[in-house]
Structure 1
Amino acid sequence: MDQALMPTQIEIASPRLRLVALDPRLAALQVDDRQAFFDALEVEPEPSWPPELTDETAMRRLRETLDAHPEQTGWRAWVFISPVMHRLLGSGGFMGAPDAEGVVEIGYSMLTSWREQGLATEAVNTLLQWAYSHDTVKQVVARTPDDRDAAHRVLEKAGFVQAGHEGDVIAWTHERSRLAA
């Protein structure tokens, strides 16, 4: 791939997290050379990587998508890193760039040992701020199984409201006006 077409690495930070958007290079390393992936992120090797809800198929699909569309860096996967411990804590991001109505869908997953500490909420709030920094984004949506109370609490704390049920999945919405200060 032409290096001139490669986006620059996107990083954002919150009080306890460093979030890095996976670009084509990082997405490929995550699949092909896990140690090089950790080295590129300057984190300790994480034996339990990736978090729940991310499997080999999803990682390969991400690599293929970013290879074909490097401009979607930031609108796909992000990793959540502790800048103090240099450890991967979880991942999340968007299902793609905003649609014609300005809607993006968000998702997230924490490694088991980093749950129940407010880190997922912090990551979601940071991703919301990044998304809304783009004028084209008008609304962020999420979907969670109706039996995932912890996931519901994360979304509620981040200002999402339930928008209805789709079978055993709860649909959530977040408007720009609800962005946490």
Structure 2
Amino acid sequence: MIPLITHTPRLLILAASRALLTAELHKPQYFPVLLGAALPADWPPGEYDREAMHYFLDQLTAGGRTAAGWYGWYALRKATDDTPRTLIGAGGFMGPPDAEGSTEIGYSIAADWRQQGLATELVAGLVQQAAATGMVRQLVAHTDADNLASQQVLLRNGFEPAGHAPDGRLRFERAVEPAETTA
């Protein structure tokens, strides 16, 4: 079974569930309660929009338990003495890996939480999650040519430029080594 929670030093990264996505889309007043976190004022951020939410919900509904962990993930800033646990971003995979072990990741951080290294930490958590599955051999990511911050996040996480996607965005790739298991 795929782990549905990943921890990084400052983040709890939680796999989206049908219940969370349904609340986010249709009962937003319950979403932060179910999530156990405060929401930023500009939620949802960036490319994580209603279309992405519907896509993740549709995929989780169609795929059942085997789809869990292969789509959306929520990035929650762990509580500190100064701030409560807060939803700061979203990321995830565009689905399970293909026959060659390749899957695509994406991520978005809420405006108030940018330029603090949290996107880098979120992507590191997603790489860690991909390795933990033992199924992913390569991660792919795309970003706009003018999004230098996103490019830096990918480079800091071991991604390398790999040309352009058909839509003109920049393509980045990274090999993934399976996580070592302890017996």
- Indicate the residue corresponding to 1:68 in structure 2: 62
1:22 partner amino acid: A
| Residues 21-50 of structure 1: CA deviation (Å, up to 9, x unaligned) | 001111111111112111011112433211
Structure 1 runs of 4+ aligned residues shifted over 4 Å read none
> Any residues of structure 2 matched to 1:53-132 within 5 Å, and which?
53-70=47-64, 71-84=66-79, 85-132=84-131
Offset of residue 8 of structure 1 = 9.2
Q: Deviations over 1:67-98 (max 9, x none)?
A: 11132121100010012121110000000001
Between the aligned partners of 1:131 and 1:28, the Cα distance in structure 2 is 25
* TM value normalised by structure 2: 0.88
- Unaligned 5+ segments in structure 2 are none
Matched position secondary structure for 1:61: helix
Residue correspondences, number: 172
Q: Is the 8 A contact 1:9 1:20 kept in 2?
A: no
* Structure 1 portions without partners, runs of 5+: 1-6
- Normalised by the length of structure 1, the TM-score is 0.89
Matched, 1:24 2:18: yes
**Residues 79 and 90 of structure 1 are in contact (CA less than 8 Å); yes or no, is this contact kept in structure 2?**
yes
Q: Which amino acid aligns with 1:19?
A: I
Between the aligned partners of 1:121 and 1:60, the Cα distance in structure 2 is 26
User: CA offsets, 1:76-135, max 9 Å, x none?
Assistant: 000100121211100000000010000010000000111111100011011101101122
Aligned with 1:34: secondary structure? Answer: coil
Q: 1:161 and 1:83 mapped to 2: Cα distance?
A: 30
The answer for the alignment partner of 2:173 in structure 1 is 173
Q: CA RMSD of the aligned region, Å?
A: 1.8
**Equivalent-residue separation in structure 1 for 2:160 and 2:98 (angstroms):** 20
Which residue matches 1:52?
46
The 3 A distance-change label for structure 1 pair 115 and 46 is closer
**8 A Cα contact 1:9 1:23, kept in partner:** no
